[in-house]
Each structure stands twice: as C-alpha cells, then as structure tokens.
Amino acid sequence: MSNLKPARGSKQHPKRVGRGNASGKGTTAGRGTKGQKARTGGRGGLKVLGLRRLVMQTPKLRGFKVPKDNVVLVDLATLDQACKNGEIVSRRSLIAKKLIPASTAKVKILGGGELKKKLIVVGCRLSGSAKERILAAGGEVR
C-alpha cells in the first residue's frame, strides 16, 4: 500500500492564474479585458446539467410540435414471407427475425400484399385492412 502511486499523466495540477506576468496567466488572469465576464462573480450561466441543452433545443418562436414516437411500418407481405403458419407475431419476434431494428418503440402492421398464413398478432398496432386480412386468413389479433 505504501508504494502505490497514480498512473503517469492522470493527475494534473490546476491552472494557477493571477500569479504575475511571468507565469503567462497574470494581469487579466486569462479572462480577457473588461466586461461582466471579466469581473469576479460575473455571469454564471445555467447551472443545472442538461437544462442548457433543453433550452437551446426548444424553438424560440411560434410554438413547436413534440417529435412523434418511433413507429416502424411492416407489410403483411413481409410477414407472409418471414413467418411460419400459426406463429405469434410481436415486437420481440420481429426484432429477433431482424425485420425491424432493436431501437424500435412501436410496430404498425399495414395491409400491403397478400397473407396466406394463419398468424397470431400480439401487441402491435394494425391498420383496418391488415386486421381484416389477418382474420380472413384464420389468424388472431390480441
């Protein structure tokens, strides 16, 4: 324990400002000349972490719309090719088959193409035509 030392370069001495011109940080101590920011205690800025980012991202004029959810669209034709007869189709199963990215929040199944297999759809949004075609093929929607 008595021989332990921090790794080379991991400890840095703080910048010593206002200690004479020979130090390179004398006179104005690296603050430039005059103005509110040059004075002691002048202009602190936003202290709460993340608040500045939030303020800067919010548009200034005429209101703004909140970004929509991350919804990925999948056609029935894609499901017909990728799934077996009687299989359960859910967000997790589609991610496992790599039909949608893992970062997907929600899935919506659209009625594009033909569906010849009986599928059980769980926890996915559906368009009206997709729901009709799934039920017509003998599948279930939960």
CATH code for the domain of 127: 3.100.10.10
Residue 77, domain member (yes or no): yes
DSSP label at residue 21: G
Q: Which domain holds residue 131?
A: 71-141
Residue 33, domain member (yes or no): no
Residue 14, domain member (yes or no): no
127 and 110 in contact (C-beta within 8 Å)? yes
How many domains are contained in the chain?
1
pLDDT digits (tens, 9 = 90+) for 52-88: 788 887 777 777 777 777 889 999 999 988 888 889 9
- The yes-or-no verdict on residue 107 having pLDDT over 80 is yes
Residue 61, domain member (yes or no): no
Partners of 125 in beta bridges: 108
pLDDT digits (tens, 9 = 90+) for 34-58: 988 888 887 776 667 778 788 887 7
Residue 9, domain member (yes or no): no
- Report the pLDDT value the prediction gives residue 47, as an integer from 0 to 100: 67
Residue 74 φ/ψ, nearest 5 degrees: -130, 135
pTM for this one? Answer: 0.52
Q: Please work out, in degrees rounded to the nearest 5, the angle formed at the alpha carbon of residue 82 by the alpha carbons of 130 and 115.
A: 35
